[in-house]
Homo-oligomer: A and B are copies of this chain.
Amino acid sequence: MVTKNQIKLIKSLHQKKYRKEHQLFIAEGVKVIGELVQSSLILEHIYCTETLNFNVSPDKVTLVSKDDLKKMSALNTTSNCLAVFHCMQEKEVDYSDLVVALDDIRDPGNLGTIIRLCDWFGIKHIICTNETVDVYNPKVVQATMGSIARVNLVYGDLPSLIQVESDIAVYGTFMDGENIYEKTVSNKGIIVMGNEANGISSTIESLVTERIAIPRYGNLQQTESLNVAMAASIVLSEFRRHNFK
C-alpha cells in the first residue's frame, strides 16, 4: 500500500528543487534498479506492480497498482518498478587522473551517455557548471544504466574547479585545434566538453591550454559538427588508447 503523501513526495522528486531538499532521487525499470541496488547507493524504497527479485530486504519493497506507479513515474513509458535512492555526497576530485569538465550540457540523454562513457573509460570525476543538467534528473539516471553510482559529479563554478591546480593541462575541442590523432595526449588533465548549441564558452576557452580537433575525413561537403556525446566518445577513446599500447 502506498499513501497519497508518499506519491506526492515521489512526484516532487521529478523536480531538482525537491531532490535537493530531500536528498533523494528516483530510478525506474528493472535493469537500472537492479544495477543500483548492487552499487554503493543507499536504497530508500522500491515500488513495483509485481513481485521482482531484487535481493533487498522485504520491508524495502511495496507492491502498488499500475495506476499508482504511473502517477509516480517521470517517464513517458512507465515500467513495472520505481525506486527511491539517497543522493550521493559529492567527493573530492582527484586531479591525478583524467577529469571531464562539462560546460553547460543541457540534454539529459547527453549527460547520461557521457557518464556511461566515463565509467567505461575509467574516468571517475566529472566537474560541471551549475547550469549543466542535474545528474539526478530521471532521464539522466535512465541513460546512465547504473554508471551513476561509479562516477563522481561535482557542480560549481567551473573556472575555479578547473584552476585548482596550476600546472594541469586543459584540453578543449575546437574546429581549429590540433589533430587529435597526431597529438600526444597525457593521462592526466581536464577534458572540456561544451554546450550542445554554443560549444565551449569564452570564459572556459580562455583556460584551455591544449586546443584539439577531431578531423573530418576527406574534403567532401560534410556534416558541420558531431554532437557532444559522439565527440566525447571519440576524444575519450583517443586519450585512453595510448595506455593500451
Contacts and interface: CB of A to CB of B under 8 A. Distances in A.
Interface in A130-165: 145-147, 150
A179 B237 CA distance: 12
Interface stretch (A22-30, A49-57, A63-71, A115-123): A115-123
- Which range contains the number of A residues in contact with the other chain? 35 or more
Contact of A120 (B122, B150, B222, B238): B222
A145 B121 CA distance: 28
Contacts of A221: 150
Give the copy number.
2
Interface string A205-245: 00000000011111011111011011001100110110111
A119 B214 CA distance: 14
A224 B113 CA distance: 13
Contacts of A243: 217
A227 B113 contact: yes
A110 B232 CA distance: 16
A94 interface: no
A181 interface: yes
Contacts of A121: 216-217
Q: DSSP class of A's interface residues: helix, strand, loop or mixed?
A: loop
A121 B220 CA distance: 10
A181 B241 contact: yes
A149 B13 CA distance: 43
Contacts of A227: 113, 116
A182 interface: yes
30 contacts: A113-B227, A116-B230, A117-B230, A119-B222, A119-B223, A120-B222, A120-B223, A120-B226, A121-B216, A122-B217, A122-B218, A122-B222, A145-B223, A145-B224, A146-B223, A147-B222, A147-B223, A150-B222, A150-B223, A179-B244, A181-B244, A181-B245, A182-B244, A182-B245, A215-B244, A226-B233, A230-B230, A233-B234, A234-B237, A237-B237
The 7 closest A-B pairs by CB, nearest first: A122-B217, A233-B233, A122-B218, A119-B223, A234-B237, A230-B233, A181-B244
